[in-house]
Structure 1
Amino acid sequence: MEKIFSFGKILLMGEYAVLHGADALCLPLKTGQELTVTDGPEGKIQWKWKYKDQMLASFSFDAASLEEESNGTANWVVLLMNFIREQNPDFLRQGGKSLEFVNLFPPQWGLGSSSATISSLCRLAGVDPFVVNRQLMGGSGADIACTTAQNWFLYRNGDNGPQTWEIPFNYHFSENTWFVYSGNKMETASHLKSFSSESRYAVSWMQANDFVYRFISVPTLPEAMQITYEHELLIGEAIGKESIANRFRDFPGKVKSLGAWGGDFFMALSLQEPGFVRGYFYNKGYGTVLSWKELTETKYF
Structure 2
Amino acid sequence: MSGEYVAVHGAKVLALPTKLGQRMKMQELTGSEVIWTSLDHQGKKWFEAEIDLMAFDVTHTSDEQIGKYLRKIFKACINNNSEFLSHWKKYKIEHRLEFPREWGLGSSSTLIYNMASWADVNPFHLYFDIESGSGYDIACAGSDGPLLYQFNQDSLSIDDVDFMPSFADSLYFVPLGKKADSRQAVKKTLNAPPDKSLVRKISEMSEKVLELKSLSAFEQWVHEHEKLIGDYIKEPTAQKSYFKDYWGAVKSLGAWHGDMVLVTSAKSMSDTAAYFKGLGYPTLIPFRELVL
Normalising by structure 2, report the TM-score.
0.91
CA distance in 2, matches of 1:267, 1:169: 14
Q: Verify: 1:24 aligned to 2:19, yes or no.
A: no
Unpaired runs of at least 5, structure 1: 1-11
* Cα RMSD, aligned residues only: 1.9
Q: One-letter code of the match for 2:85?
A: L
Contact (CA 8 Å) 2:30, 2:90: kept in 1 or not? yes
Q: One-letter code of the match for 1:50?
A: L
Q: Which structure shows the higher strand fraction?
A: 1
Q: Verify: 1:44 aligned to 2:39, yes or no.
A: no
CA distance in 1, matches of 2:139, 2:113: 9
- Report the secondary structure of 2:59's partner residue: coil
Q: 1:40: how far off?
A: 2.5
Q: Verify: 1:79 aligned to 2:72, yes or no.
A: yes
| CA distance 1:75–1:169, shift in 2 (3 Å) | closer
CA distance in 1, matches of 2:228, 2:12: 15
Query: Residues 223-254 of structure 1: CA distance to partner in whole angstroms, max 9, x if unpaired?
Result: 11101110111111111111111132321111
Q: One-letter code of the match for 2:142?
A: T
Indicate the residue corresponding to 2:82 in structure 1. 89
Q: 1:101: how far off?
A: 0.7
Contact (CA 8 Å) 1:44, 1:63: kept in 2 or not? yes
Indicate the residue corresponding to 1:292 in structure 2. 287
- Report the secondary structure of 1:35's partner residue: strand
Q: Verify: 1:122 aligned to 2:112, yes or no.
A: no
Contact (CA 8 Å) 2:78, 2:85: kept in 1 or not? no
CA distance in 2, matches of 1:112, 1:207: 25
Q: One-letter code of the match for 1:268?
A: V
Indicate the residue corresponding to 1:258 in structure 2. 253
Q: One-letter code of the match for 1:292?
A: F
Alignment of 1:38-187 (within 5 A): 38-51=27-40, 52-71=42-61, 73=64, 74-94=67-87, 95-168=89-162, 170-187=164-181
> How many residues are aligned here?
286
Contact (CA 8 Å) 1:203, 1:238: kept in 2 or not? no
Which of 179, 188, 192 is the equivalent residue of 2:182? 188
Q: One-letter code of the match for 2:175?
A: Y
Bigger shift: 244-253 or 225-234?
244-253
CA distance in 2, matches of 1:265, 1:103: 16
Unpaired runs of at least 5, structure 2: none
Query: Residues 27-53 of structure 1: CA distance to partner in whole angstroms, max 9, x if unpaired?
Result: 111111001111123212211111133
Normalising by structure 1, report the TM-score.
0.89
Q: 1:159: how far off?
A: 4.6
- Report the secondary structure of 1:205's partner residue: helix
Bigger shift: 89-98 or 285-294?
89-98
CA distance in 2, matches of 1:168, 1:268: 20
Report sequence identity in percent. 27
Indicate the residue corresponding to 2:229 in structure 1. 235
CA distance in 2, matches of 1:231, 1:135: 31
Query: Residues 138-180 of structure 1: CA distance to partner in whole angstroms, max 9, x if unpaired?
Result: 2110111111111111111125422211114633321000111
CA distance in 2, matches of 1:229, 1:290: 21
Which of 256, 270, 275 is the equivalent residue of 1:280? 275
